[in-house]
Amino acid sequence: DQQVKQNSPSLSVQEGRISILNCDYTNSMFDYFLWYKKYPAEGPTFLISISSIKDKNEDGRFTVFLNKSAKHLSLHIVPSQPGDSAVYFCAASGQTGANNLFFGTGTRLTVIP
Amino acid sequence: EPEVTQTPSHQVTQMGQEVILRCVPISNHLYFYWYRQILGQKVEFLVSFYNNEISEKSEIFDDQFSVERPDGSNFTLKIRSTKLEDSAMYFCASRGGTNSPLHFGNGTRLTVT
C-alpha cells in the first residue's frame, strides 16, 4: 500500500548546484506534506512542510513545491552543500484520526564537494 | 531546542521475550506516535496516541503490541512476545497539534535473536 512514493532511491549532485527530490502520492485526501532528512543512527529530522492550500513554501535554501493536480511534490535545495548528504523522506497526512504520517521510501542524496 | 528522547538506543532480546521501549516526548506535545523502520525499508506507522488512548493503529500493531503513558512524561511501546521479524528501528514521535510536524527521537534498534 504505497500511498507515498519516491521513485529515485539515490541522487548525486555537485556542491553548489541544485538538488531536486521528487515525491508522488496517490491519496487525494492528503492535505499536509512534509520533508524529513535522516542521518544514519538518528531519527528523521523535520525540514519543511506545505499544506494543500499552497503550492510553494520556502525556508532558506529549501523550497517545497506542491502540484495537487499531479499529486506531486518536490524539494529543491539550492545551493547544495556536502552537509546536505542524507536520506530524504517525503511524508503526507490527511484529515483522518490523529493525522499519522505516511512516508515514502526515501532518496539518498549525496552532495559531491 | 526540546527533543524527543528514546531509551535504550539498542536492545537485543531473544525470540519470545517481552521488551519495553521507552520514550520521553516533548513536554507540551499532545500527540504521540510509534513508527518503525525495518532495515532497508520505509518508515512505517504503528500507532498514535492522544488523550490517554490509542487514536489510530496500523495492521502491524497487533495484539502483541501495546502502548502506555504511565505518567506525565513517558510513553512506552511494549512487545509481549517478540518475533524475529520485529527486528527494526523503532522511532517515537510527538507533535503539538494537528498539521504541525512530528518530531522524532533517535530511535531504538531492536534486535531479536
pLDDT tens per residue across all 113 residues of chain A: 678 999 999 999 999 999 999 999 999 989 899 999 999 888 999 999 999 999 999 999 999 999 999 999 999 999 999 999 999 999 998 864 456 888 999 999 999 99
**Helix extents (H) in chain B:** none
Q: What share of chain A is helix, strand, coil (3-state, %, to 5)?
A: 5, 55, 40
- The mean pLDDT of chain B is 93
What SS3 class is residue A84? helix
Contacts of residue A97 in chain B, CB cutoff 8 Å? 48, 55-56
Q: Cell for A91? A: 511524508
Contacts of residue A36 in chain B, CB cutoff 8 Å? 104
Question: Which residue of B lies nearest to A96 if distances are taken between CA atoms?
Answer: B56
Distances (CA, A) of B77 to A78, B39, B64, B68: 39, 19, 10, 7
Which among A34, A43, A101 has the least Cβ separation from residue B107?
A: A43
pLDDT tens per residue across all 113 residues of chain B: 779 999 999 999 999 999 999 999 999 898 999 999 998 888 899 999 998 899 889 999 999 999 999 887 899 999 999 999 999 999 999 998 877 889 999 999 999 99
